[in-house]
Chain A
Amino acid sequence: MLEIKNLHASVEDKEILKGVDLEIGPGEIHAVMGPNGAGKSTLAAVLTGRPGYTVTEGSVTFFGKDLLSMSPEERAWAGLFLSFQYPIEIPGVTITAFMKAAVNAKRSANGQEELKAGEYLKLQKEKMAFLNMKPEFAKREVNVGFSGGEKKRNEIFQMAMLDPSLSILDETDSGLDVDALKIVADGVNALRSPEKSAIIVTHYHKLLEYVQPDFVHVLKDGRIVKTGGRELIDAIESEGFDQF
């Protein structure tokens, strides 16, 4: 599904990623862990096309296509999703209006007919019920006045609505509270399927107590220095990142 080869990337002329190799297959959950400054957030940013990051070497293909030449919206249409660590507030725009624009843009780009208001609302209601969310939530302005947990819930709701093939969850900050992490974990677990994959970027083993990753990678100084299974999480927890 996703193939990253020798990826180098810089921010303001400072090289952060120094040759990342990573392959993600369908249905797999990968955890990318590493100390602060290792390049975890940069990896998430480069994969989703955030402005300000320059790829200097290497390639990324997504379902065989060159991901790096696509705009952020084209990547979303191709089935990529990024759950933000700190979602942006959009006063004056309701969650319903925002997500309807997003869902229909994706449908239209993929040659599907846009959903009419009634059809959209039905889909929204189903997804919200699935995630145990109150319908009033959708009437609120996007992330305005939301608690940390509500913002996370909104990210997972958007993920459910857009039904991506690959979700990237940027949970780099160790300062997030456990309840917010649990919302993310529950969402990932609920949406898990043999076709859907996820990359969870985190500093924090706590999140991985709730989501079982198939693979764990250690990212250090811009490279993946170790790949393994759950046992790596325990090793990191007991001895930190210095051992790698």
Chain B
Amino acid sequence: MGHGRYIDPLVDTRSVPGMTHVVKAGEKLELEFVVLPGESRDIDVSVDLTGPGAELSLKALYLCKADEKVNFRILVHHRAPGCRSTQLVNGIAGGTSNVTFHGTIVVAPDAQKTEAFQENHNILFSDSAKVETRPQLEIYADDVKCSHGATVGRLNEDELFYMRSRGIPRKEAESLQMISFLTPVIPEGRREEIENAIRSL
């Protein structure tokens, strides 16, 4: 699965600007990002899992309804054996917004028994919004469980019809579908705020 030469992140010029989080043996880092309508953001995150058993859980959601520009650049580097990382980035791109997701997982040669998962799912809520998603795996160890998935889609008319056939107006049916889609990335305690933001799209 590996391709090219393994480059240590410390000298890797592709390393994203911004903060690098170092997660040591046995530690767990949880990162949550919420980008609300009207906000343009560059979210640059590097995470180095440097000790055995280190863990990362990254969840992000974005909601765009105008001309926002939201860029995710995420680099997760598994440098030690037995580490686990999960990334889930979901969002809704409406208006004329422009969203990019560049996510890279690097598994170093001695990072055996790595588990690394990355998902990026996007819903286009207007014909003028743009989403570009580029997930990347660079694996240099052989005993690993890694997966990534990326989708760019639209609201599902069959689901909307199910709700509308119960008398739920189209606009509210759309909101419920978006709430459903974003539920896995809504941080605890912020559900009401985010549901309101979804209904404002």
CB of B189 to closest CB in A, whole Å: 16
* A78 smallest CB distance to B (angstroms): 10
Chain B residues within 8 Å of A77, by CB: 167
Known: A50-B161, A84-B162. Is A105-B176 also a contact (CB below 8 A)? no
The answer to whether A105 and B159 touch across the interface, beta carbons within 8 angstroms, is no
Q: A90-B176, A90-B180, A101-B172 are in contact. Are A76 and B162 (CB under 8 A)?
A: no
Judging by beta carbons under 8 Å apart, are B167 and A91 in contact? no
Report the bound CA distance from A66 to B180 in whole Å.
Answer: 34
A109 CA to B168 CA, complexed, in Å? 10
Hey, what's the 0/1 contact readout for A45-56 against B, CB within 8 Å counting as 1?
A: 000111110000
Is the CB of A27 closer than 8 A to any CB of chain B?
no
Residues of A within 8 A of B (CB): 48-52, 71-73, 75-77, 81-82, 84, 87-88, 90-93, 98-99, 101-103, 105-106, 109, 158, 162
Are A76 and B176 interface neighbours, CB within 8 A?
A: no
A109 to B159 alpha-carbon distance, docked (Å): 22
State which residues 132-159 of B face A: CB under 8 Å: 157-159
Closest approach, in angstroms, between the C-beta of A80 and any C-beta of chain B? 8
Q: A77 vs B172: C-alpha distance in the bound complex, in angstroms?
A: 15
* Supplied contacts A81-B166, A158-B166, 5 more A-B pairs, CB within 8 Å: A51-B161, A71-B170, A75-B165, A84-B162, A93-B180
Q: In the complex, which of the residues A48, A50, A71 has the most CB atoms of chain B within 10 Å of its own CB atom?
A: A50
Please determine whether B166 and A76 come into contact, CB atoms closer than 8 angstroms: yes
B179 and A73 within 8 A (CB): no
Interface of chain B: mostly helix, strand, loop or mixed:
helix
Q: Is B164 among interface residues, defined by CB-CB distance under 8 A?
A: yes
9 smallest A-B Cβ distances: which pairs? A92-B183, A76-B167, A72-B164, A102-B166, A88-B162, A106-B167, A92-B180, A73-B164, A105-B167
Smallest CB-CB separation from B162: which chain A residue? A88
B161→A101 contact, CB < 8 A: no
The distance from the CB of B69 to the nearest CB of chain A, in whole angstroms, is 28
Q: Which residues of B contact A101 (CB under 8 A)?
A: 168, 172, 176
Q: Which residue of B lies closest to A84 (CB)?
A: B162
Known: A90-B159, A101-B172. A162 touches B167 (CB 8 A): yes
- A72 and B161 contact, CB distance less than 8 A: yes
- Chain B residues positioned under 8 Å from A88 (CB to CB): 158-159, 162
Nearest-CB distance from B159 to chain A (Å)?
5
On chain B, the residues within 8 Å of A103 by CB distance are: 167
B179 touches A102 (CB 8 A): no
Q: A72 near B176 (CB under 8 angstroms)?
A: no
Q: Is the CB of B176 within 8 A of A162?
A: no
- B168: chain A residues within 8 A (beta carbon): 73, 98, 101-102, 105
| Chain B stretch 159-201: residues in CB contact (< 8 A) with chain A | 159, 161-170, 172-173, 176-177, 179-184
Check B169–A93 contact: CB distance below 8 A.
no
* Contact call B183/A91, Cβ cutoff below 8 A: yes
Instruction: Specify which chain A residues have a CB less than 8 angstroms from the CB of B159 in the assembled complex.
Output: 88, 90
Q: Considering the complex, which residues of chain B in the window 88-146 have a beta carbon less than 8 Å from any beta carbon of chain A?
A: none
Q: Are A90 and B177 in contact (CB under 8 A)?
A: yes
- In the complex, what's the smallest C-beta–C-beta distance from A154 to chain B, in angstroms? 11
A73-B170, A84-B162, A105-B168 known; A51+B157 contact, CB < 8 A: yes
A106 proximity list for chain B (CB < 8 A): 167
For residue B184, which residues in chain A have a CB less than 8 angstroms away from its CB?
A: 92
A92 CA to B185 CA, complexed, in Å = 11
- Whole-angstrom distance between the Cβ of B163 and the nearest chain A Cβ: 8
Contact of B167 among A51, A87, A102 (CB under 8 A): A102
CA distance A197 to B111 in the complex (A): 66
Bound complex: CA A75 to CA B165 (Å): 8
Q: Please pick, from A48, A91, A105, the residue contacting B169 in the complex, using a CB distance under 8 A.
A: A105
